[in-house]
Structures are given as C-alpha cells and as structure tokens.
Amino acid sequence: MQRIIVSAFARCLSLVASAQPYLVRQSDRDRAASLVSRMTVDEKIDLISGKVDGFWTAPVERLGIPAVRMADGPQGVRNKTRSTYYPCGILLASTFSRDAALGVGNGIGCDATARGVRIMLCPGVNLYRTALCGRNFEYYGEDPYLTSEIALNYINGIQSERVIATIKHFVANNQEYARHRVSSNVDERTLNELYFPAFRKAVEKGAVGAVMTSYNPLNGTHAAENAWLITDNLRAWGFEGIVMSDWVSTYTTLGVMTSGLDLEMPRNHVTNPDDLKPLLANGVVTERDLDRMCTHILQTFSAFGLLDLPMLNESIPEDYEFSRNKAYEASVQGPVLLKNDGLLPVKSSGKNHIVVLGPNADVVAFGGGSGAMHPIEGRNITLAAGLKSLGKGYKTTLLDYTALTADDEKLISKASLVVLSVGFNSKTETENSDRTYGLPEGQDALVARMAALNPRVVVVVNSGGEVDINPWKDKVGAIIMAWYGGQEGGRALADILSGKVAPSGKLPFTFWGSLEKNPVYAYYTQRNPHILEVKKDRNPYPFAQYGEGIFLGYRGVEHFDVEPMYPFGFGLSYVNFDYSDLSVVRAGDGYDVSFTVKNTGKTEAAEAAQVYVAPLASEVMRPSKELKGFDKHRIAGGKSVRYSVHLGPDAFSYYDTASHSWKPERGECKILIGASSADIRLQSSVTL
C-alpha cells in the first residue's frame, strides 16, 4: 500500500515534469558522438537493426550501451506480457479529452517501466479515410487537429516515465488492404494540412523519441526508403530522434541507408553485413551514413537516461491500480450515444429487469493484429459482468443468444431494457486486412429479431469506426458506439447505461450512413479495378489516389454537398447544454476564445465543445470550416462553466505549395463554436 502511495506521488511529480520533454541536448549529441567514435564498423552495423525476437535493440557491452526492449502499443504493453488493457485509439479520440489521453499514456508508461520496456511502439495516428480500414480502431479519427492533440498528450504521458514513444505510421497508411503494395498518392498540400500535422506536433511540441515509417509507398517510393519524406520533411522539422521502419517494410540496402532511416525492424533484412559491406567497400554507402544512424539512436537513449538508469522500475507493480483507474477514466468518456428514444438511462428500481445478450455481451472484444493485447488474468470486465455488478435496484440476466428458447423470448419481451451487444472482434476487424461495412454475419438479423420482440432495445456496437446501421437503426430505441473499451469497458458501459455517468463521447469522424456517400469511396483502392489487375506485381505499384485532397470527412460535407447521417463531433448526452457569452479577444500570437456552457439538466454531465475556424476570403480553396480547438468540462446539473481556447497562428494559416510553407490567412475569418461540426451554437469573426 505504502509503495502504491509513494509511486502515485511520483506519478504526480512526473506529470508535472512532462512539461519538459526529453529533448536531445548538446550533451546527448556529444555523448553519442563519443560512443560512435569508439564503435567498430561491425558494432555499428549491429546497432542499426532489431535483435532477438525483433523487439530489442543491440547492446554494445564493452561501451556500456544496453539492449533496449520495445513493445506494442497502442492499447497497453503487449509483447510477451500481460498488461493493463486500455481502451482503443478511436475511443480515446471520442473522449475529446486531453486529460484522458495524458492519463492513458502515463499509465502505459508506468506499465512499460514495470516490465523493463523503454520503447513503446505507439501512438498510431493515421487518419480515418474509410470505415473499412482494419486499423481505424487504433487511430484517432479523421481530423488532424484532434489527432494531434490526443497524440501529443498520450506521448507526454508515456515519455514522462522516460519511455520513448514511437509515433506511427509515417505516413498515409490509411487502409490495410494490400498495404505493402498500394502507393498512397497524396499531393503536397494535403500531406501538410492533413497527414503530417500529428507527426509534426509530436516532434515540435512533444519531443517524441521515435517515428515509425509506414508499409505503403508514398507517391511511388516506400516510406522507409523515402528520403523526401524522412530527410526533407521529418528531419527539417527538427527531429533528432530515431526513425525506425515498420516490421518488414524495407526493400533495398541503398534505399534504407540513404533515406534518413536509423533502425531497420524487426531485423537486418537489407542492412546485414553481407549486403552492406560491399556497398561500404565501393563507397556507395559511407561510414558517415552508419555514424548518422547510430548517433540518432544513441543520442535519443542518452536523452531519456537509458544509458544510465536501470531499465526496470521496481517501484511499480505489473498490475497497477493507477493504470486501471486511467483505463476506466478514458473508457467511460469515449462511448458515443448516437440515438436515444428516452430509453436511457435505466434507473435503479425494484422493477427494472435488464436482459443482456449478443456475441460481445460476455467477452471483452478487441481489434486484432499488433494492437491486440493480453489482459491481466481476472481484470477484464465484460458488459454482462459490468451490468451484473451495478448492485441494488438492478436485476440483470445474461442470455445465450445462440440458443434462444421460448422461455427466453418471453423474458426478453418483458424486460425493461434489452442490451444487445454486437460488433466486430479480433478476427473480423484487424490489422493487415480491411473489414466489411456491415456487421458480421447474422448480427443484423439478431438485432431485427430482438427489436420485433421488445421496443426497448439498446444496441451496443464494438467497432473501430462506422458500421452499416441502416438495417435496424429505426427499429431500436438506442444506439451506442462503444468502440473497444479495454478491460474497464464493461464497467464503463454499465455506468453509462445506468446513468451513473452521462455519456460524453463525440464522433471523431463523419458517420456517412453509407459507404458510397463518403467521397473517399471513389478513390478506395479495393474498388479500383486497375489495382486488382496489377495486384500481383511489385512494379508498377498499384495506388490509391487521394482524390478528395484536403476535403476529407467533415471538410468535404459542404464541398461535395453530401449530408452525413451523423456529423463529426456529434454525440448525445442525458442532459442538454446551453452555449452563451462568446468572447474573442486578441491575445499574444492569436486570439483567446471563451464562452459559457450551461448544463440545463439536473444531473452532472460532461460536454466537449468545439471551436472551428472558417476563412471567408481566402486566396485558395479552403474547407468551409476546420477544427482548431476544443475544451471539455464536467458540469453539475444547473451549473455553468466558462470554456476557453487559445487560437494561435496555426489556426489561421494554410499550406502554400508555391513557397512550400505555411502562409497566414488574410481578411475575415469566422470563429464558430459548436456542439458538433453541424451544430454551431455561437459565432463571431475576426479580421486578420
């Protein structure tokens, strides 16, 4: 107990310290240079690729350079261990809460050091283009600003424990289908405005320690070998940390040695001595290339203290109460209530009888691939278990949906609430393949059958993004997008269903309501017959032309004139909020925006308010609005809270392809305050 109190205190101190990230300083550069000058060529070659099971760097014992252990990410510490299972990325983005992201990152940092892991292979920040992408669940949705802010706080949380965070996958790995071959063809402005910002902010504001390149070629050149991407862009932002390849995504020795990459993972497919030494001998690759790579690795280790401190932090238990709490705090803020015909919350009463059933009712569903975790024995709380532990005033029965009997049907039809838990799992939504838009087979029919028996059905959906809800949307009383809530997800959902906590999650992507409505549909590779034809060839690469450009998601709603089913930023609560008293004042390098949000209900609830900027007189085509700020607070029933957001120069600029740089907007810009991207409550304007 004492140990937990002491380490919780240390947590607080380290979070304060997170304001000072582990930047590479001159002393780290000098130390790395000195070590490199004493390394042999063989030792240098050894250091630039992964070792053992592919999750270690190479030690150089005679120089005191330790082997550093790494693990996936992003929902907890994965490799060869059981660990706290945090909610998935799309849930974290739905919280619109920097605190939740900081807390999860910090919990993961603690869990990592408790296992001697010092490089975490997370966060994943690839933007959501299509509902089909098998890894949407790991990422933070469609908006670059929301993604950047969630990632930055998550990184700060991890790195405050002296654990290197690895932001991935750089860049434009936005689908899993044929991910090694399909070139993401993206224009310069779109890259800079949409796909780079999360990486750039992590470098400039978070001093992130490592960046992982993506599997896909970018504009025809594989990311790990793309010098334009790594050297001309990432390094130009001031990145001095480690650039590693994704697992098995390297093709040529020369490409890897000259792109700016530092670490080939998981092992030396192309940087092995047999391939490398002839190139060194004939001068195509020089020892300076090797030195540059080793220096990046060692100066980063030095900055994080890894050359001096023990890898294992013995003061933190592997099953850590602090981590469990952080997992819950995020889990309970992320589920998005899409629809509620007055069914929820179900209040405690002697008469209420909840029936829970469905394929995901008594399992903790999760997305598959490298993001899948092994939870600590006994810590997973399923939805059924969460509901059963609600206690006095609630009676819950779990039904086996595969054997429904006549008695069961009677019980359902009489239930005061039927909680139907459907959605995907690690087999049906996973890395390395894209998924179906519709729910897995048989689930639509199950929902329809339950809805016919009882009008009081709430459908709880586990997924990493939009699913086809058209077959039953109008037949059920409530719909909750629950994403993948991790080990605390069942408890968090039970607290939401019972009203102990009001839902406060908001959609981090546009819920189009059909695949075809999403303007990306026309450009999604799998639908392009040309791609299928050349599928088996490595050259020329098939491609996904990012034809929607900067008009992704809600940015495209007005541009393409398509009305989504639910807009970006949308999510219901159990109360209503009034917005008033907007003030926009010039302050420092930009504007201070503040406004009052009043909870007009009787019970406490949290509201995530969004600040959009809409330039009216731009010289270039701009989306009609862009998210540039958000704030979230818990507000007691009947009370008000003042919200505030600072809009800096970033909020008022666009990427200019003529000068290859960001250019400030001129003229009038609207400042829009919304409960969602489509529900603008207050507005003002500034003249730049």
- Asked whether position 625 contacts ligand BGC by CB under 6 A, the answer is no
Is the CB of 78 or the CB of 625 nearer to ligand BGC? 78
Q: What is the Cα–Cα distance from 410 to 404, expressed in whole angstroms?
A: 10
Q: What is the Cα–Cα distance from 148 to 134, expressed in whole angstroms?
A: 21
DSSP letter string over 537-553? -SSSPPEEE-TTTT--G
Q: Let me know how many helices (H) and strands (E) the chain has, helices first.
A: 18, 24
Q: Could you say which of 11, 69, 168, 506 contacts ligand BGC (CB under 6 A)?
A: 168
Contacts of 28 (CB under 8 A, 6+ apart): 299, 300, 302, 303
Q: In the sheet that 605-615 helps form, which strands lie side by side, from edge to edge?
A: 626-635, 605-615, 668-674, 680-687
Is the CB of 82 or the CB of 292 nearer to ligand BGC? 82
Q: In the sheet that 590-599 helps form, which strands lie side by side, from edge to edge?
A: 577-587, 590-599, 640-647
DSSP letter string over 350-374? TT-EEEEESTTTTS----BSTT---
CB–CB of 607/573 below 8 Å?
yes
Helix or strand (DSSP H, E) at 120: strand 117-120
Q: What is the Cα–Cα distance from 289 to 274, expressed in whole angstroms?
A: 17
Kindly state the smallest distance separating residue 276's Cβ from ligand BGC, in Å. 23
Kindly state the smallest distance separating residue 247's Cβ from ligand BGC, in Å. 4
Q: Do you find a cis peptide bond into 74, omega within 30 degrees of 0?
A: yes
Q: What is the Cα–Cα distance from 623 to 548, expressed in whole angstroms?
A: 11
Q: Residue 2 burial (CB < 10 Å; 0-12/13-18/19+)?
A: exposed
Residues 438 to 497: which contact ligand BGC by CB under 6 A?
none
Size of the site for ligand BGC (CB under 6 A): 6
End-to-end, the C-alpha distance of the chain in Å comes to 56
Nearest in space to 481 (alpha carbons), one of 137, 153, 159, 163: 137
Is the CB of 433 or the CB of 610 nearer to ligand BGC? 433
C-alpha atoms less than 13 angstroms from C-alpha of 528 in its C-beta half-sphere: 19
Q: What is the Cα–Cα distance from 401 to 66, expressed in whole angstroms?
A: 53
| Sequence-ordered strand ranges (E) for 180-317 | 183-185, 210-213, 217-218, 221-222, 242-244
Kindly state the smallest distance separating residue 70's Cβ from ligand BGC, in Å. 8
Active site residue 246: yes
Kindly state the smallest distance separating residue 142's Cβ from ligand BGC, in Å. 20
Supply angle C-alpha 130, 134, 135, rounded to 5.
Answer: 95
Kindly state the smallest distance separating residue 169's Cβ from ligand BGC, in Å. 6
- Asked whether position 129 contacts ligand BGC by CB under 6 A, the answer is no
Kindly state the smallest distance separating residue 43's Cβ from ligand BGC, in Å. 25
- Residue type, position 176, single letter: E
- Asked whether position 72 contacts ligand BGC by CB under 6 A, the answer is yes
Contacts of 190 (CB under 8 A, 6+ apart): 546, 549, 550
Q: Residue 16 burial (CB < 10 Å; 0-12/13-18/19+)?
A: exposed
Is the Cα torsion angle 110, 115, 118, 123 positive or negative in sign?
A: negative
Is the CB of 246 or the CB of 626 nearer to ligand BGC? 246
Nearest in space to 420 (alpha carbons), one of 456, 470, 465, 466: 456
Kindly state the smallest distance separating residue 543's Cβ from ligand BGC, in Å. 20
Is the CB of 246 or the CB of 362 nearer to ligand BGC? 246
Q: What is the Cα–Cα distance from 394 to 350, expressed in whole angstroms?
A: 7
Q: Could you say which of 22, 96, 139, 247 contacts ligand BGC (CB under 6 A)?
A: 247
Q: Choosing from 28, 246, 362, 631, which is the catalytic residue?
A: 246
Residues 103 to 122: which contact ligand BGC by CB under 6 A?
121
Nearest in space to 386 (alpha carbons), one of 454, 469, 488, 295: 488
Which residue of this chain has its Cβ atom nearest to ligand BGC in the complex? 370
Kindly state the smallest distance separating residue 505's Cβ from ligand BGC, in Å. 25
Residues 492 to 531: which contact ligand BGC by CB under 6 A?
none
Is the CB of 75 or the CB of 370 nearer to ligand BGC? 370
Kindly state the smallest distance separating residue 469's Cβ from ligand BGC, in Å. 29
Is the CB of 199 or the CB of 247 nearer to ligand BGC? 247
CB atoms within 10 A of CB 353: 18
Kindly state the smallest distance separating residue 72's Cβ from ligand BGC, in Å. 5
Is the CB of 269 or the CB of 634 nearer to ligand BGC? 269
- Asked whether position 434 contacts ligand BGC by CB under 6 A, the answer is no
Is the CB of 165 or the CB of 419 nearer to ligand BGC? 165
Q: What is the Cα–Cα distance from 340 to 336, expressed in whole angstroms?
A: 11
Kindly state the smallest distance separating residue 210's Cβ from ligand BGC, in Å. 11
Is the CB of 36 or the CB of 122 nearer to ligand BGC? 122
Kindly state the smallest distance separating residue 190's Cβ from ligand BGC, in Å. 23
- Asked whether position 370 contacts ligand BGC by CB under 6 A, the answer is yes
Is the CB of 181 or the CB of 681 nearer to ligand BGC? 181
Alpha-carbon radius of gyration of the chain:
25
Is the CB of 193 or the CB of 246 nearer to ligand BGC? 246
Binding site for ligand BGC (CB under 6 A): 72, 121, 168, 246-247, 370
Catalytic positions, please? 246
